[in-house]
Structure 1
């Protein structure tokens, strides 16, 4: 494995970690900078497509709407594997996401186990996410 490949793997790992850090801090406009302008973002829950967003502007509106309903985010990233092909790459990553929302005066914790299938592209001297498919594999909610 060359130093260039190791450097690229590190940059791609930083990209998915930045997504988690910035999302947890509600820095949605900064999160959008991690994506290409023509991004596609799909969400599957229980194997069913529940969201299919195209374009960074649309995605930003959706993310802001979602964030407005959440009191707290906490994301923990796990394994991340990538296949690099020049200025494109594909990757799989796993995350544990916790969200607290207030519903009927009670704090509700929802715990998500998520697998992301990503397509990356190197543009303007940095890596971006061009396509993200989120598979919400386990979803558990409870009152705190």
Structure 2
């Protein structure tokens, strides 16, 4: 494996981790800097498509709205596999996300097991996410006792 491939794989992993860090901290405008302007973002809950957003501006608006409904995010990234082809790449990553929300005066926590299918491009001297499809495969909600 070439030095460039190793460097690219590390940068792509850092990109995925930055998505988690910035999302957890609700730094939405900085999070948007990880995407191309013409991004495509989809979310499936089971087999149902529940989010289909195109463009960074639309996604920022959706993420801003979502973040106001969540008190706390906690994300843990797992496996991340990429296939690099010059200045483009595809990747699969697995993530556990916890979200704490308030409903009826009580905190509830939801655990999500997510698989991301990504397309990346090297643009402006850095890797960016061009397309991200999230598959929420397991969702478990319960009261949260902090």
TM-score range, shorter chain: over 0.9
Q: CA deviation at 1:47?
A: 1.1
Structure 1 gaps of 5+ residues are none
Q: Which residue of 2 aligns with 1:133?
A: 133
> In structure 2, what is the Cα distance between the partners aligned to 1:8 and 1:46?
32
1:22-101 superposed matches below 5 A:
22-101=22-101
Q: CA deviation at 1:116?
A: 0.1
Q: How many residue pairs get matched?
A: 144
1:120 aligns with 2:120: yes
Structure 2 gaps of 5+ residues are none
> In structure 2, what is the Cα distance between the partners aligned to 1:113 and 1:8?
26
Q: Which runs of 4+ in 1 moved over 4 A?
A: none
Q: Which residue of 1 aligns with 2:14?
A: 14
Q: CA deviation at 1:31?
A: 0.4
Give the alignment's TM-score, normalised by structure 2.
0.98
Q: Which residue of 2 aligns with 1:142?
A: 142
